[in-house]
């Protein structure tokens, strides 16, 4: 018995194949870009600011290519933009500069805000390294930056649907600030008693 049902799948298969190829490229570039962000953060911790600076431009260019695949893949941009924000904010703060805003960085404010929260952990690490070098002045400065970043975000009380993962990162940042406060206080008291 012959069926009269004719289901056309060729155009669907063609579109899904196109999307799959684009997604493979995006995910590969995301991994590469996130590794560059991690490298940049490591260079900042090592004090190699001149080596870290060109990575900002390189990462920005890679983000532009990633985004060129279109809005249909925007869910795959957040993580890489967040890592980029963390690196650029950290780099600028360590240099004593005002970090650029999300518009100048050409990323979403959601990625910017979560990157900002992650930056607090990097500032704590920098603070602890400063304490180990017995550089309390820098350690205090890093702690103050941590506290300023955290306090600046306190008015942000929005639904998880609007700011995914932000509240969780904000809570982690609060704990980072409190731990850093006790670590810095202990270091200062220990150094005064010597």
Residue 18 has pLDDT above 80, yes or no: yes
Residue 60 has pLDDT above 80, yes or no: yes
Q: CB-based contacts of 114: which residues, under 8 Å, 6+ apart? A: 78, 82, 85, 165, 166, 169
Structure confidence at residue 180 (pLDDT): 96
CA nearest neighbour of 115 among 47, 165, 156: 165
Q: How far is it, in rounded angstroms, from Cα 41 to Cα 140? A: 20
* Tokens found for residue 8: 């056309």
Give me the chain's average pLDDT, please: 93
* Multiple choice CATH, 108-194, 1.10.1040.10, 1.20.1260.60, 1.10.1740.10, 1.20.58.2140: 1.20.58.2140
Residue 1 has pLDDT above 70, yes or no: no
Residues 115, 85 contacting (CB under 8 angstroms): yes
The residue-averaged pLDDT of 9-23 equals 91
Q: What are the residue boundaries of the structural domains of the chain, listed by start?
A: 108-194
| pLDDT tens string 93-117 | 999 999 999 999 999 999 999 999 9
| pLDDT tens string 26-40 | 999 999 999 999 999
| pLDDT tens string 113-149 | 999 999 999 999 999 999 999 999 999 999 999 999 9
CA dihedral (169, 150, 183, 121) in degrees, to 10, reads 40
Q: How far is it, in rounded angstroms, from Cα 145 to Cα 158? A: 24
Q: Which range is least confidently modeled, 5-9, 43-47, 147-151, 183-187?
A: 5-9
**Main-chain dihedrals φ then ψ at residue 183, nearest 5 degrees:** -65, -40
Which residue's entry shows tokens 């609060």? Answer: 174
Helical ranges in the chain per DSSP H: 10-45, 49-67, 78-94, 102-105, 109-132, 136-152, 166-192
Structure confidence at residue 142 (pLDDT): 97
Model confidence at 8, pLDDT cuts 50, 70, 90, reads confident
The residue-averaged pLDDT of 69-86 equals 91
Percent of the chain scoring above 90 in pLDDT: 84
The residue-averaged pLDDT of 141-163 equals 95
pTM: 0.91
* Tokens found for residue 190: 């220990």
Structure confidence at residue 103 (pLDDT): 97
């Amino acid at each position: 018995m012959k069926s009269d049902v004719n289901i056309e799948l060729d155009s669907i298969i063609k579109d899904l194949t196109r999307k799959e190829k684009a997604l493979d490229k995006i995910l590969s570039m995301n991994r590469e870009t996130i590794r560059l962000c991690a490298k940049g953060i490591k260079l900042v911790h090592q004090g190699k600011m001149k080596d870290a600076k060109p990575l900002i431009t390189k990462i920005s260019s890679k983000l532009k290519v990633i985004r060129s695949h279109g809005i249909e893949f925007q869910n795959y941009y957040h993580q890489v933009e967040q890592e980029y924000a963390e690196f650029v904010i950290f780099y600028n703060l360590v240099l004593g500069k005002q970090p650029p805003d999300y518009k100048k960085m050409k990323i979403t404010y959601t990625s910017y805000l979560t990157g900002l929260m992650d930056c607090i952990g990097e500032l704590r690490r920098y603070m602890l390294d400063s304490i180990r070098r017995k550089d309390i002045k820098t350690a205090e400065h890093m702690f103050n930056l941590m506290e300023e970043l955290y306090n600046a975000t306190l008015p942000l009380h929005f639904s998880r649907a609007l700011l995914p993962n932000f509240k969780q990162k904000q809570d982690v940042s609060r704990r980072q600030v409190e731990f850093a406060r006790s670590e810095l206080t202990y270091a200062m008291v220990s150094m005064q008693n010597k």
